[in-house]
Amino acid sequence: MTTPETKRLRLRQWKESDLRSFAALTADPEVMRYFPATLNREESDALAARFRATIDENGGWGYWAVEVKATGEFAGYVGLASQPDRYAFSPCTEISWRLSQKYWHQGIARKAAEATLDYAFNVLNLEEVVSLTSIHNAPSENLMKRLGMRKQGQFFHPALPADHWLAEHVVYRVGRDDARR
């Protein structure tokens, strides 16, 4: 199964050479601002290994590494995850992204997310995709809106204590018929 591409980006399986850049991304306090903690190298490598294994298990899809075609550089990840029972609104398929600061404000997250939604609807034949983030993460919420997603509500993330400052999340949804691509 081929993976999504745009004019400037390739979404692909993870490579060993991505790990150093991914570790820098997950150790960056600004990138990880809306996550409970930064990751050390061991945690980052383990997360990348889980992403890689999920792509293999799914037959080619998951949280893909984003590569800038012109330079071959690793920019971060964008992709899909099946969430059969994690949330009150499960089963669902979630789209998510995380990019190195170097690639912010260049349209990379949006283009990669649009290609991912196209893949979700036209290759995987999904009916809808959700995205979620902390109520404090306006940049991600704004991207959800630009992708044609609509707010469905708020909830407390099950992986966080209810009194954690990041616990309250928004959930957005886009269906096959209303996705802007």
Q: What is the rounded (10 degree) CA torsion for 23, 143, 105, 116?
A: 60
DSSP state, residue 5 = B
pLDDT at site 181: 45
What pTM, to 2 d.p., does this model score?
0.95
Structure tokens at 112: 């990669």
User: How do the residues of the chain divide into helix, strand and coil, expressed in percent and rounded to 5?
Assistant: 30, 30, 40
Give the pLDDT of residue 21.
98
Which pLDDT tens digit goes with each residue over 137-180? 999 999 999 999 999 999 999 999 999 999 999 999 999 987 54
**Which residue is it, tokens 């390739």?**
10
Query: What is the residue type of 154?
Result: Q
Cα–Cα distance, 171 to 131 (Å, whole number): 6
> Considering just the CA atoms, what is the radius of gyration of the chain in Å?
15
The answer to whether 50 touches 63, Cβ cutoff 8 Å, is no
**What are the backbone dihedrals phi and psi of residue 113, each rounded to the nearest 5 degrees, phi first?**
-70, -40
The DSSP secondary structure of 158-181, one letter per residue, reads TTS-TTSTT-EEEEEEEETTT---
Low-confidence ranges of the chain (pLDDT < 70): 1, 179-181
What residue segments make up the domains of the chain, in order of their start? Answer: 9-175
Please check whether the domain covering 9-175 is classified as CATH 3.40.50.720.
no
User: What local confidence, expressed as pLDDT, does residue 179 receive?
Assistant: 57
Please give the mean pLDDT across all residues of the chain. 95
pLDDT at 177: 84
